[in-house]
Amino acid sequence: MAFSNPEEYLVRKPGNVELMQIVPLVAAALLLTVGLAMFLSGTENGADLVQPAIVVFGGTLVALLVTFPLNQIGVAMQVAVHRGIRGGSSPVETIRAMMRVCDISRRDGLQGVGEIRTNYDALEDACYLISQAAEEQKIQFQLDRQRSAEHCYHRLVSDVFLFTALYALLIGGLGSVIRFVTSTSGAVSMPILPFVCGATLALLLFILLGRLRTAHSRELISIDIAYQGAVILLEDNNVQRLQSRLTLLLPHGMR
């Protein structure tokens, strides 16, 4: 048995990011960086920012490739699209998914719940535990494992973007220092431009980090809902009472 449209209920695992998804993301970051740098520096000629932008983006990319393995960078890009832009998982949708699981358990029994297939790991694992009529201690153990895995997953992804922001700042600052020291009087205008480019790119990345942190918090709530829902469902598979008790797990701003 499978949810007819898993994305309608909950999606956590991002699929492989295609090139056409990454190119607009990088292009948007470049344009926003240049535009914001022009505003902050008061530069009217965008051509003045071409060389600083190339230095900052190129240097940051090289430093990033040296620091992190390519597969970790790829996962970070996937998460940037899935969580940073699309928002990631929704605890409210998790509750709706658990209500449907409850309906299936009432109609087909616990074995029917075990046949549910979805691309959300925590929900599918919770369904398996329900089908096995697992004890509360075992469900709690799995909950702790999922939470630990989510913390590790978020930390690995956040490190990529945090170091990217730091590299952008450092390379931009270094570029400004070199430009100022090596320039002759009047030969180079506004030597601060590389630093402004690096600072604006870092600002955009910190915004992305904030969105990822928010999505991480929602993910932890969704995981709690999935496993606590399993415990509640095994005690009482009444849909209304399940919804009421799971809603209490939501912060007031999400209800």
Does residue 179 lie within any of the structural domains?
Answer: yes
37-44 contact pairs (CB < 8 A, 24+):
37/193, 37/196, 37/197, 37/199, 37/200, 40/196, 40/199, 40/200, 41/190, 41/192, 41/193, 41/196, 43/190, 43/193
Q: Which structure tokens are listed for 81? A: 């699209």
pLDDT of residue 189: 57
Residue type, 107: R
pLDDT < 50 positions in the chain: 1-2, 4-15, 187
Domain around 216: 6-254
pLDDT of residue 13: 47
Does residue 27 lie within any of the structural domains?
Answer: yes
Does residue 10 lie within any of the structural domains?
Answer: yes
pLDDT of residue 9: 41
Number of domains in the chain: 1
Does residue 75 lie within any of the structural domains?
Answer: yes
- Could you tell me which of 101, 100, 102, 128 has the C-alpha nearest to residue 114? 128
pLDDT of residue 184: 60
Q: Is the pTM of this model over 0.75?
A: yes
pLDDT of residue 223: 94
Does residue 1 lie within any of the structural domains?
Answer: no
Does residue 53 lie within any of the structural domains?
Answer: yes
